[in-house]
Amino acid sequence: MSGLRHYNQIQRRILLLQGALMASVLCVEGRLVYLQVFKHVEFRQLAYHQQYTPKETSPSRGVIEDRSGALLAMNIGLFNVCAHPNQITDKASTAEALSRALGTPYDEVLSRISGDKPFAWVARQVPYERSRAVESLKLQGVEASREQRRFYPDHEMAAHVLGFAGIDDQGLDGLEREYNNSLTGKSGLVLTERDARGRVVLSDNETKMAAVDGLNVVTTLDKTIQHIAQVELEKAYQKYRCKAASIAVMDPRTGEILALANCPNFDPNHFNEAPGEYWKDRMVNDEFEPGSTFKLVAAVGALEEGAVNEDDRFFCENGAYHTDYGRVVTDHEKYGWLTFREIFGYSSNIGMVKVAAKLGEKNLYRYCQRFGFGVTTGVDLPGEVSGILRPLDKWSGLSMTTIPYGYEVSTTPIQMLAAYAAIANGGVLMRPHVVKELVDSNGKVVREFEPQKIRRVCSPKTAKRITEMMKWVVEKGTGTAVALPSYDIAGKTGTAYKFMNGRYSKYDYVSSFIGFVPAENPQFAIYVSLDDPRGLYWGGYTAGPVFKEVAKRALVYDLVPGKDQAPAVAQGGGRHSVPSFKGLTREQSRWLAQESGLRIKFNGPGDRVVDQSLPAGGKLAPENNKPIKMVLTLGTPAASLAQGVMPDLRGKTKRQALALLAPLGVRVNFKGEGVVRSQFPPAGRTVRDGVPCDLSCEVPVAKTASGGGEGHS
């Protein structure tokens, strides 16, 4: 009996133990179910974040090109070294190793990696060799990463247009700033795998989102004309010891800026080494009283309204005019009776005041507005100012004795250039612009900037009449030093007193010359100003020669025929017919399209043009200054054994050389900028399809032309 009772007790204990074990198992299994099912997502995310570290990847900043595809701003690869101090156990030895690898003082490195910060820069933008030295050390908590640095291959070339980007690839000035959002692109994301101690595991990174590169900016600048403008402006800046100087070249038919430069200049690769004043783009950021170049406004208004004719005579008071308001208007010469043409040509202030009186103050104000003074032009450069044109009800009795010849009104150089370009364009004011198109990394045009007409400021007839008067300025008036024997120039001189310390200085001037060439078929409108030239200061003799040199060199470069020359037309096409694009690369096609005034788009894979939507030799007849569009089909040209004879390309522009070589199918390689000076194979040699053709180019220097007489202003 006692044995049975003992047995039952054992059985109860076993059952209790089994129950306890079952309860424990159920608890454990319940906990596991809770952790693995209900907390699965949370713990998976926690483990993922511990194992993988997200890292942002930077896109490539878009490049900036001139109108023919020449690089003006690009990227070069540099390297950064960073540390995670909270992962570094032996900071002293790590700092010593980094100091040797980077060539940086030990104390400086140690101070950067001290503490328990999660991140710290050790060195930025170091050469590749030093970054490799750091990587080879395999230091805990230290990484080397690649980044891009902005580089401007031509240094000072078009610095005030391009601007510059900072160390973080942020556009700070110029086009870099104006189009920063387009150039920047979109960052990507990469997850980097790490071990339990936080060290990077060398394995393939898992890319979550690819970076999107920035758009490339294709400008309206012509690198050769830009070079010519900068060289000639720098010569005058040094010769006359000016405080500053500016120049711009525009296509008056489209408003495209072909060149823009200022002195003093700077290298955007080292922009922080130049004084901040050097960064200023005076063409759009400066406003000043223009002086005699502003006489264009009253002159155009008087002709358009029929207030005067070119041969109407006015008495110019022998150099001193006592107005009804007690102010004395003076001239630089003691003129008596002058025709309106002579008043404009000799730059008589007294005569222009009397002409403006015929026009009336309401009309004068209206034409100031028509030409766009008092408001910004809308040029796509940062920091443009509007100048000052006071409302008509704020004019005083003295206003009509000062505004007609460019005082009591302030303008910017770009406004003055646009005004004269409007006359060259038959009386139509165009919006100045510096960018032609935005292109993605695959060569697809994302956005085009078409020429934009603002308004008509005068009739074509009036524009032609004022052009003749501007030609007279250069032929017989104050601009005779600017005359070219083979081209008619239409222009106006200006010599304006500077307003300083509350009064007009008798010794400080802004000297300028603005005009266009050739007068009968304008290709270039050019503005030149010199701030406070020393010694000789008349605009016709200081700024005028700069205009002359730039004009004649640009005309030679662009093969614009003179009065005694026949038009130069390339084989297979020219400015007035559709050229053949077959066999050309994308870049070569862009050159040739620009020469012909065509807007092209590419279609299909391949590296050379195999077909074009407009037949070669067809006539070009653009309407309303809008370029004709055509599609070029890309592909792989069929092999050909056809032979051709190498033409003489010396003296031809790159674009014209391409037009001549297109039918031969040769592979063209250019060296240098400007026109062709030498070639290989030589002219007359038989060549086959695909043979390389090397062309060496130089910027042309026109022969010095005699001419000019005496003049003023």
Give the number of other Cβ atoms within 10 Å of residue 309's Cβ.
Answer: 12
CA dihedral 551, 555, 557, 562 (to 10 degrees): -150
Tell me if 435 sits within 8 A of 219, measured CB to CB. Answer: yes
Give the integer Cα–Cα distance in Å for 483 and 513.
Answer: 12
Tell me if 671 sits within 8 A of 649, measured CB to CB. Answer: no
Burial 480-503 (b: 16+ CB within 10 A, else e): bbbbbebbbbbbbbbbbbbeeeee
The answer to whether the Cα torsion of 361, 363, 366, 372 is positive or negative is: negative
Helix (H, G, I), strand (E, B) or coil at 85: helix
Helix (H) or strand (E) run with residue 253 in it: none
Burial 540-555 (b: 16+ CB within 10 A, else e): bbbbbbbbbbbbbbbb
Residue with tokens 């008092």: 374
The answer to whether the Cα torsion of 548, 549, 554, 556 is positive or negative is: positive
- The tally of CA atoms less than 13 A away on the side-chain side of residue 105 is 3
Concatenated DSSP letters for 392-456? GGG--TTGGGTGGGT-S-BB-HHHHHHHHHHHHTTTEEE--BSEEEEE-TTS-EEEE----EEEE
Give the integer Cα–Cα distance in Å for 686 and 647.
Answer: 10
Give the integer Cα–Cα distance in Å for 68 and 226.
Answer: 13
CA-derived radius of gyration, the chain: 36
Give the integer Cα–Cα distance in Å for 295 and 12.
Answer: 121
**Residue 24 designated active-site:** no
Give the integer Cα–Cα distance in Å for 70 and 223.
Answer: 7
Q: Give the distance, in angstroms, between the CA of residue 105 and the centroid of all CA atoms in the same chain.
A: 41
Choosing from 246, 292, 348, 596, the catalytic residue is 292
Taking phi first (over 0 means left), then psi (-120 to 50 degrees means alpha), and beta for anything else, what does residue 441 get?
A: alpha
Cα angle 245, 251, 253 (rounded to 5 degrees) comes to: 140
Positions marked active-site: 292
